[in-house]
Amino acid sequence: MRPMGHALIFDSGVGGLSVAAEIRAHLPHLQMTYAADDIFRPYGEKSEAQLKARLPGLLWQLTETAQPDIVVIACNTASTTALTEIRAALDVPVIGVVPAIKPAAALSRTKTIAVLGTPGTVQRRYVDDLINDFADGCRVILQGSVNLVDIAEKKLSGETVDIGWIKTELAPMFSGRHGADIDAVVLACTHFPLLKDELKASVTQSVQWIDSGEAIAKRTEDVMRGLVLKPARKGPDVALLVGPDTTPARIRTFKDFGFERVVALM
C-alpha cells in the first residue's frame, strides 16, 4: 500500500522514538523521517536563547531536505521553548508535545502529582501555565533530570541500565515532604517512556506514569486528515542523526523502531 503522507519526527536524540511508535500504531501507512539532534544534546542543559537560536533554522533545513507534509516536535523542551519560532520558520503544520498535566490531575486521587522532565522543561513558564490551567486543585512537585535522558540513550544503545541510577534520580521527588502522596507522574520528556519498566521497578508506591505519546499520535492523525498530501516518496523510513553518534547498536535500535536506513549528518 502506498504511504499516506509523510511526517518528520524531531527530537534531541532517541526520545522521539516513543512518540514515533505511537504514531505508527495509529497511522501504519504514514511514511516517517526521524531527525535526532545528537550533537546539541542534552537540550535540558541549554538556555532558552540557545534553543531559539538553533531550532528554527535547523528544522527549516531538515524540512527542506525531507519534504514532509507535517512536522512533529517530539521533544518537550523544544516544544515548551521554541515552538512559536519553529512554526514561523516552516510552511508545513507543526505539532508540539504538551506535558500530560491535565490527564494526570484528573486521574490523581490524592491530588498530588509530579512532573518529571528535563530542567529545561520543568522551569519553563509554559509548564507553570499548564499547572495553573489544569491542576489548580493539585499539589504539583517538579523534578528535573538530565541524567535520565542519558540513561535512556544508553539503554537504546544496548547498555545495561542499573536500577540504582533510576532510584537516585527519583529519590528527591519521592523522599520529599509530600513524596509519599504522589500517585501520578507526568513523564514530561519523550526519553522517559523508554524507561517506563525501569521507573516502575524503582518505586514501591502505586504510581501512574503518564506520557503524551498517544495524544500526539491522535493529534497528528487529525491534522493529517485535513491536508492535501504531497506525492508519495518511494523508499524506506529514514533516521537522520545530526552528529557522529552512529554506533552499530544505535543503528539497530532505529531499525527496531522501523527506520531501516540511518544516515549521519556531520
Please list the active-site residues. Answer: 75, 189
Q: Are 67 and 4 in contact (CB under 8 A)?
A: no
Whose cell is 491522535? That residue is: 218
DSSP 8-class letter at 68:
-
What do you get for the CA distance between the two ends of the chain, in Å? 34
Pick from 51, 21, 20: nearest CA to 37: 51
CA distances from residue 109 to 28, 106, 113, 171, 172 in whole angstroms, order as listed? 36, 8, 9, 22, 22
Q: For the stretch 189-219, what's the b/e string if a residue is b when 16 or more beta carbons lie within 10 angstroms of its beta carbon? A: bbbbbbbeebbeebbeeebebbbbbebbbeb
Q: Are 123 and 96 in contact (CB under 8 A)?
A: no
Per the omega criterion (within 30 degrees of 0), is the bond before 42 cis?
A: yes
Neighbours of 157 (CB within 10 A): 16
Query: How far apart (Å, rounded) are the C-alpha atoms in residues 86 and 63?
Result: 11
Contacts of 197 (CB under 8 A, 6+ apart): none
Contacts of 226 (CB under 8 A, 6+ apart): none
